[in-house]
Structure 1
Amino acid sequence: MTNHADDASSEDPQSGQPQSGDPQPEGPRSGEPQPGEQVGTLEQIIARQVRHYRSVNKLSAAELALRTGLSKAMISKIETASTSCSLTTLQRLADGLKIPVTALFRGADTDRDATFTKSGQGSLTVRSGTQHGHEYRVLGTLKGRTDALEPTLVTLTDASDVFPLFQHPGTEFIYMLSGKMVYGHGAYEYTMEAGDSLLLDGEGPHGPLELLDLPIRFLAISAR
């Protein structure tokens, strides 16, 4: 006699696959690490940020779980970097902690370029007028950035009659540190002394026109 109950759980003789009545094995949950999978640095950063902001908000793990709709066990996994968070979970955490989602990733971007220049240092550059007592010292640049700012410390020590004018794409910001001069931009003239500033379009011819009180030092910050 054939036992039909046994047939219901047998394989399809054509394909060798379980028939539709068979229970399917439960797959791994989305967003959770698989056996043997290492949790990465990003999870550790999120864990640190969640712990930090939970402490700032003076919340227990149970209170944060209640706010976010996550289980206390899940909060514990997140704070120990034992699980990867889905986007939905990240949004719930951010809402519960009253922070933007991006705050959970703070510190993930490392190795950003920066330039530090000690007083009196910087790269001397030769420009029109250098030979007439005009010193141009670039205070820093960022690698591979064509759109970066270029801060230059300009020192004028010689009351010469040579006043080169400059033109370049982008904008420039002039900030007077010491001395007094008349600075021109296009058809306009500005008498500038310590504390004065000027923001100008670099396409217009600009530069010192008259040196009134030497030495003169000012910052020229250009952006393209």
Structure 2
Amino acid sequence: MSAKDNQSLDLYIGKIINNVRKKQGLTIAEISEQSGVSRGMLSKIENGQVSPSLDSLLKISRALGVPISAFFKEFDSEEGGAQLVKAEEALEVVRRGTKVGHTYHLLAYDSGPHKTFEPFLISLDNKSEIFPTFAHEGSVFMYLLEGEMIYRHGKQTYHMKPGDSLTYNAQISHGPEELLQVPIKFLNIIYYNQSAPE
């Protein structure tokens, strides 16, 4: 690969990382803390100023919840098939709720710079925890698998039991209001670039 190709690849990788990070509403500082890659190095990587090592890319990919191949796939694309993520391979990733007791497992890796959806398995275990509300891009389909809770969306609250589902506009503040029975596990699918539910 020529020096020009190397520079082009560095710029491409940097753009992918920057786009994925911003789409998830995460800061360079948060990715740095989760990955162990310094803020300065992350900034240089995102701006295509350095050729990142495979070790650094692996750490960043884990923090972002995408496979390392996502940083290269569209650059030199190849035919793909269905994506199987085994139960033991679901990546635990950092998100806004990580600091307050949410555990996020990403169930599929939408490669490329523009995510269309993100499916998460979210676990809540601390009944006494007080959770903040969240607001972010997209629409959400939520399906309660285990436990019982009161969930808030805007000014409304919803009493949810296993088998219940909730669909909502994620730009309106939302989050657990009260954990009635733990552990709580629910499937959360965030859809991007779609009109919000009425």
TM value normalised by structure 2: 0.53
Matched, 1:137 2:105: yes
Counterparts in 2 of 1:108-147, with a 5 A limit? 111-112=79-80, 114-144=82-112, 146-147=114-115
Which residue is equivalent to 1:24? none
- Aligned residue for 2:96, secondary structure, equals coil
Q: CA deviation at 1:126?
A: 1.9
Mapped to 2, the partners of 1:157 and 1:113 lie a distance apart of: 36
Q: CA deviation at 1:213?
A: 0.5
Which has a greater percent of helix?
Answer: 2
For structure 1, the 5+ residue unaligned runs are 1-109
Mapped to 2, the partners of 1:153 and 1:140 lie a distance apart of: 10
Question: Quick one: higher RCO (CA 8 Å, sep 6+), 1 or 2?
Answer: 2
Matched, 1:204 2:172: yes
1:135-183 per-residue CA deviation (whole Å, 9 max, x = no partner) reads 1111112211514210000001111332132111110010000100011
Which residue is equivalent to 2:117? 149
Asked if structure 2 preserves the Cα contact closer than 8 Å seen for 1:151 and 1:221, the reply is: yes
Matched, 1:178 2:151: no
Asked if structure 2 preserves the Cα contact closer than 8 Å seen for 1:141 and 1:149, the reply is: no
TM value normalised by structure 1: 0.48
Mapped to 1, the partners of 2:132 and 2:96 lie a distance apart of: 6
- Aligned residue for 1:213, secondary structure, equals strand
- Count of aligned residue pairs for this structure pair: 115
For structure 2, the 5+ residue unaligned runs are 1-77, 193-198
Counterparts in 2 of 1:162-177, with a 5 A limit? 162-177=130-145
Query: 2:144 is aligned with what amino acid?
Result: M
Deviates more, 1:160-169 or 1:174-183: 160-169
The sequence identity of aligned pairs, in percent, is 40
Which residue is equivalent to 2:185? 217
Mapped to 1, the partners of 2:170 and 2:190 lie a distance apart of: 8
1:29-62 per-residue CA deviation (whole Å, 9 max, x = no partner) reads xxxxxxxxxxxxxxxxxxxxxxxxxxxxxxxxxx
Q: CA deviation at 1:128?
A: 3.5
Query: 1:219 is aligned with what amino acid?
Result: L
